[in-house]
């Protein structure tokens, strides 16, 4: 858990504290310098590689289903593990483009990865967990134990 500490960018806070406390923080100086010197055109295509995929958790009668939207990956890019009751799903994708021409050489590379973890309920048959990946959607099926499956509603007659 992290604690957020507010900083004063303008340095115009009116207090009775010393002048040292009224100076802007070092990170805000960098923000001010970089923000004024470089426009967004240099960082608009910057990929931090830390975005998390959208997830749907579905509770069906016989199973739980975890769906993740992760287009652009191959089946071999995924790492799915169950450690005790923790299901971890991760993927790593590296790409590199090299172009050489008489006039120029261009070399670009990218890296993207994520890792999501889920607590698996005790009602899941962990030996029967399966996964499939089609059209950019990763589905992980977690079948429920027989005693956890939803039973049909029973009507009780009054005597």
Q: Is 89 exposed, middle or buried (0-12, 13-18, 19+ CB in 10 A)?
A: buried
**Cβ contact 71:102 at 8 Å:** no
Is residue 40 situated within a structural domain?
A: no
User: pLDDT for 145-154, tens place per residue?
Assistant: 988 777 778 8
Is residue 117 situated within a structural domain?
A: yes
| Selection from 19-28, 55-64, 110-119 with the highest mean pLDDT | 55-64
Give the residue numbers spanning the domain of 122: 55-148
Is residue 98 situated within a structural domain?
A: yes
Is residue 47 situated within a structural domain?
A: no
**Cβ contact 65:139 at 8 Å:** yes
Q: Please report, for the domain that includes residue 99, its CATH number.
A: 2.60.40.790
User: pLDDT for 57-68, tens place per residue?
Assistant: 999 989 999 999
Give the pLDDT score at 129.
95
Is residue 70 situated within a structural domain?
A: yes
Reduced to 3 states (helix: H, G, I; strand: E, B; else coil), residue 154 is coil
Q: How many domains does the chain have?
A: 1
Is residue 26 situated within a structural domain?
A: no
pLDDT band at 131 (very low <50, low <70, confident <90, very high): very high
Is residue 131 situated within a structural domain?
A: yes
**Cβ contact 97:107 at 8 Å:** yes
**Cα 137 versus chain centre, distance:** 15
More confident residue, 108 or 72: 72
């Amino acid at each position: 858990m992290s604690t957020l500490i507010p900083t004063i960018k303008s340095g115009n806070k009116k207090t009775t504290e010393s002048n040292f406390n009224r100076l802007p923080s070092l990170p805000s100086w960098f923000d001010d310098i970089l923000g004024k010197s470089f426009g967004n055109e240099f960082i608009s295509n910057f990929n931090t590689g830390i975005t998390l995929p959208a997830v749907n958790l579905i509770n069906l009668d016989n199973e739980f289903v975890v769906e993740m939207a992760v287009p652009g990956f191959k089946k071999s890019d995924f790492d799915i593990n169950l450690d005790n009751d923790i299901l971890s799903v991760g993927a790593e994708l590296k790409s590199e483009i090299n172009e050489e021409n008489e006039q120029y050489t261009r070399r670009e590379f990218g890296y993207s990865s994520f890792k999501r973890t889920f607590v698996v309920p005790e009602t899941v048959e962990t030996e029967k967990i399966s996964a499939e990946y089609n059209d950019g959607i990763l589905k992980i099926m977690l079948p429920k134990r027989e005693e956890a499956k939803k039973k049909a509603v029973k009507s009780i007659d009054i005597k």
